[in-house]
Amino acid sequence: MKTSPVTRRQFVKTSYTAAGAALLAPVVFPSADSQAASQSKPALLGGKPAVEGPFPEWPMIEPLDEEKFMDALRRKAWCRLYDNITTTFENAWAEKLGVKYCVATVNGTNSLYTALYALDVGPGDEVLIPPYTFVATLNAILQQYALPVFVDTDIQTFQMDPQSMAGKITENTRCVIPVHLGGIVADMDAILANAQKYQIAVIEDACQAHISEWKGRRVGGLGDIGCFSFQSTKILPCGEGGACVTQREDLYDKIHAFHNNGRDRLTGTRKGYLHQGSNLRMTEYQSALLLAQLTRLDAQCRHREENAKYLSELLKEIPGIRPAVQYPQQSKNGYYLYMMHYDKEPFEGLPRARFIEALNKEGVSCYGGYRPLNKEPFLKTLLDSRWYKKLFPPERLKQYWETNECPVNDRLCEEGLFMSHECLMGTRSQIEQIAVAIRRIKAHAKELQA
């Protein structure tokens, strides 16, 4: 029986609700017990689920979260204009990333919107973007009435392929937005080299890569502006929330003004409103939650990274499942997602949707990756609208659709798998049980197709 599609956030929202356990000592795999478990009947066919016990709930709540949240609540200075909790968080996040400046925003989408404004991206401009990402990256560009130009994907890493950049750059290209998807860092050496060569700005969409590193440097501070999300599924959560970070004071001034209704950071409104702006300020109790969550971020990420490395070793022994590859320059991964390729041939032709259904039934939160963003129906509707026809010549829009194909990305959209980061917060035994579940599905692939 088929199930209806489930989104990434629905999976995270409905994932298991038990507290996490400590990382256990490594166990040689596959053991005799594991071999037997791998051959037993899959849960989808009536067997017992492979994963024993639920994975940790997310987000996690500890006494410090309640203490800091209630302190902010009782102070009644809930807006950042009347207290300093958000400023304290901004300083802590900037220090954590090794950057000079941070401005907290209402969410990650608006951090991207703010970054585009700060870099003077607007109507008639073009912005390079990967087609394999959450729709917010695209929507931020469209909010500025710029033209999103899709750069094909490096299928091994799931990231933007810098080798495809040059052919997409025109005289109107103003910016490129690499997305560090799932915690894996895009090839920033090549992207920054291309950006410098063609004199275009770089916005890092690090909404899924909070403490990932490239050559020992935290992402977000590698380009002109870095953008983060603190939505409740993220590894640093506060419900909603985001941030822009930068090393440049001129951009900091513009970002700060824009998120605060155009008030100049130094003069306020004494000289009038010197900037365009919006109200994108983070609340004080959101910032209080982030300060509490920040105290355990490093330990949680170490736990995820250790479990991810172990899982990757186990999956090497299972033909048909390949973990996404990191570039060798990446020195840390925060693992918002554990990303994999699924090849149905070693699974007796078992469709990916049925594999996902079977793995979910085993107690593992897994789902298909993204759809091809360059083929979403609303994009054509918008670019055919009267205002885009006013902004871009007919020949440019015609050429746009003629060159909008991303064949490598199309393939990835057919074979990609995502596993939620809660699975990596489990015990070492649960990581082994994930591999057992996949082996079990593989052993009974023909029966699962019936």
CATH of the domain at 306: 3.90.1150.10
- List, in sequence order, the alpha helices (H) in 260-342: 284-294, 297-315
pLDDT, average across residues 348-355:
98
Which pLDDT value is given to residue 242? 98
Give the domain range for residue 80. Answer: 63-295
Whether 240 and 333 map to the same domain: the answer is: no
pLDDT for the residue numbered 450: 74
Last residue of a domain, one of 249, 264, 295: 295
Q: Is 378 part of any domain?
A: no
- Look-up of token digits 């990274």: 305
Residues 275 and 311 grouped into a single domain:
no
Strands laid side by side in the 173-176 sheet: 101-105, 242-246, 225-229, 201-205, 173-176, 126-129, 147-150
For residue 356, pLDDT over 60 is answered with yes
CATH number of the domain that residue 145 is part of: 3.40.640.10
284 and 304 together in one domain: no
CB 242 within 8 A of CB 103: no
- Tokens representing 53 are 């016990």
Q: Which of 246, 274, 295 is the last residue of a domain?
A: 295
- Please answer whether residues 259 and 246 qualify as being in contact, where contact means their C-beta atoms are separated by less than 8 angstroms: no
347-370: average pLDDT: 97
Instruction: Specify whether 152 is located in the same domain as 270.
Output: yes
Q: In the prediction, which pLDDT does 36 show?
A: 66
Bridge partners of residue 425, in order along the sequence: none
The reply to whether 289 and 301 lie within a common domain is no
Within a domain: residue 173?
yes
Asked if residue 82 and residue 13 are part of one domain, the reply reads no
Co-location of 345 and 277 in the same domain: no
Task: Kindly state the greatest CA–CA separation across the chain.
Answer: 76
Number of compact structural domains in the chain: 2
Q: What is the pLDDT of residues 365-396, one digit of tens each?
A: 999 999 999 999 999 999 999 999 999 999 99
Looking at the structure, tell me whether residues 227 and 356 fall in a common domain. no
Q: What is the CB neighbour count within 10 angstroms for residue 270? A: 8
Q: What are the φ/ψ torsions at residue 113 (nearest 5 degrees)?
A: -60, -45
**Is residue 32 scored above 60 in pLDDT?**
no
